[in-house]
Amino acid sequence: MNILLEFFVVTFKVLWAFVLAAAKWLVRPKEKSVAGQVCLITGAGSGLGRLFALEFARRRALLVLWDINTQSNEETAGMVRHIYREISEEAAAAAQQAAGDGEEEVLPHCNLQVYTYTCDVSKRENVYLTAERVRQEVGEVSVLVNNAGVVSGHHLLECPDELIERTMMVNCHAHFWTTKAFLPKMLEMNHGHIVTVASSLGLFSTAGVEDYCASKFGAVGFHESLSHELKAADKDGIKTTLVCPYLVDTGMFRGCRIRKEIEPFLPPLKPDYCVKQAMRAILTDQPMICTPRLMYMVTFMKSILPFEAVVCMYRFLGADKCMYPFIAQRKQATNNNEAKNGI
């Protein structure tokens, strides 16, 4: 094809992509069903991972929960089982009602199950061994939610090397291991969905959390490259969604504060709201979701403004040192624990 003609075709496709994106703002796309599909969530024992598990359970997915903390993971599983029981009871009541009305019988959903595995996703061998157990005991994974995350809470020069390495392993490297474990079957079937729970700090950074920002930038880069690879391989049946929320009120960054005059307009996100927005994006095959939408603007401005202009903007918002109170609290808590233990 003549390159000039091809240029016009590409221009039309780009403009059409804008039209489709705008249409989705006006007309909400229909959510796809994940009922009966195996959904694996890392870091499912608490925070966003637990909420993702509950949302997928309400949609009748078969849950596989991974977490390093066995007790909290089992607590999440108990919540999921409670939802499953409610679904089964509603289905049984509907079947009884249908039989009483002389309608076709509705079979209750009795095969909903949740499986728990204790797994340290920072250890490659542990991930691969646990993934093999999942394949043998549950089946192939259709939805992979890479959610597990940690933060060291130290300034760079005060942060032990071991904590830096762990942050990178859990927040970034683990995505490679889990994806390599479950992607081959998705490619074979041309069906699946890979979700990367990153952070707004994977799109723009701030002071004091160098390891966390680096790990989330790495997760975003991994996700985007993987998405391009799937497109290049014409595997359109495998969807990807990148989740980049602003500060979420889960306690992970307790103490983080921006300028007090600005904070009422940009408060920490409620975890339920964050997960519901992410679920809407996942179930409508949206490639990326930033919450709140203001984060799209911040990312765009960071991309086009000179660095000194970004610094000025950060200082105005109080975002340049927003992590310092959080780091101070973590340091005090660490010192208190050391004193308590006689260290």
Nearest of 116, 96, 218 to residue 168 by alpha carbon: 218
Nearest of 277, 300, 197 to residue 240 by alpha carbon: 197
For residue 64, which phi and psi values (nearest 5 degrees)?
A: -120, 115
User: Could you say which DSSP state residue 155 is in?
Assistant: -
Q: How many CA atoms lie within 13 A of 51 on its CB side?
A: 16
How far is 186 from 183, CA to CA, in rounded Å? 5
Sign for the pseudo-dihedral over CA of 215, 220, 223, 229: negative
Q: Is 72 helix (H, G, I), strand (E, B) or coil?
A: helix
How far is 126 from 271, CA to CA, in rounded Å? 29
292-328 CB burial, b ≥16 within 10 A, e <16: beebeebeeebeeeeeeebeeebeebebbebbbebbe
Q: Which among 84, 117, 212, 314 is annotated as catalytic?
A: 212
How far is 277 from 279, CA to CA, in rounded Å? 5
212 labelled catalytic: yes
DSSP string, 231-253: HHTT-TTEEEEEEEES-BSSSTT
Q: List, by residue number, the catalytic residues.
A: 212
